[in-house]
């Protein structure tokens, strides 16, 4: 009985949230437009007829850096919060924050080893490209002469 009394506010909040979300979704379905045509489905580009797809592929490193920033930004929020209350948390708080920091450092190391922080070509890629460039020599007539040179590294 005591547990139910403690959980009542959470259950009431959850119920109100679900009813509100369901009501808003039903209202959107009921009040929304039911007809559609090809012109309504086109992306709007300031009154100009679209000249291609509106979906542009962003390079993956931008997304990775954004995710890394969020993870380590949340980490700093936890560490600052711990730093404010460190004297009240005692040894247990120190052990928890140490475990938290070590876990995040292991994650950072794993990301680093997997190449998640690499933006440009790796050394292996640069070495392979330099071999290709060295191997292809243009002679004086404009044709490409292929030679086998060892990469100097």
The Cα 114–Cα 122 span in angstroms is: 12
Give me 37's structure tokens: 């045509």
Instruction: Quote the tokens at residue 142.
Output: 């404009």
Name the pTM for this structure: 0.43
With b meaning 16 or more CB within 10 Å and e meaning fewer, what string describes 69-90?
A: eeeeeebeeeeeebeeeeeeee
pLDDT value of position 50: 65
> In the beta sheet, which residues pair with residue 15?
none
The H-or-E segment that residue 4 falls in is helix 2-31
Q: Would you state the pLDDT for residue 151? A: 45
Q: Tell me which DSSP letter residue 37 carries.
A: -
Q: Residue 41 has what pLDDT?
A: 73
Query: Going residue by residue through the chain (153 aa), what tens digit of pLDDT does each one get?
Result: 788 889 999 999 999 999 999 999 999 999 987 787 877 777 666 767 667 776 777 677 777 778 888 888 888 899 999 999 989 999 999 999 999 999 989 988 988 888 777 776 666 655 555 444 444 444 444 444 444 444 444
What pLDDT shows up at residue 146? 47
């Amino acid at each position: 009985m005591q547990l139910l009394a403690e959980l009542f506010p959470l259950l009431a909040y959850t119920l109100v949230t679900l009813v509100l979300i369901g009501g808003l979704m039903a209202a959107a379905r009921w009040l929304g437009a039911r007809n559609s045509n090809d012109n309504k489905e086109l992306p709007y580009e300031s009154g100009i007829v679209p000249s291609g797809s509106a979906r542009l592929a962003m390079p993956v490193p931008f997304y990775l850096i954004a995710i890394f920033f969020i993870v380590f930004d949340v980490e700093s929020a936890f560490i600052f919060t711990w730093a404010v209350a460190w004297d009240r948390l005692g040894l247990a708080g120190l052990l928890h924050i140490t475990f938290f920091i070590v876990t995040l450092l292991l994650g950072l190391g794993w990301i680093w080893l997997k190449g998640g922080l690499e933006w440009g070509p790796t050394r292996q890629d640069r070495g392979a490209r330099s071999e290709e460039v060295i191997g292809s020599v243009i002679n004086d007539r404009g044709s490409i002469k292929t030679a086998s040179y060892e990469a100097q590294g």
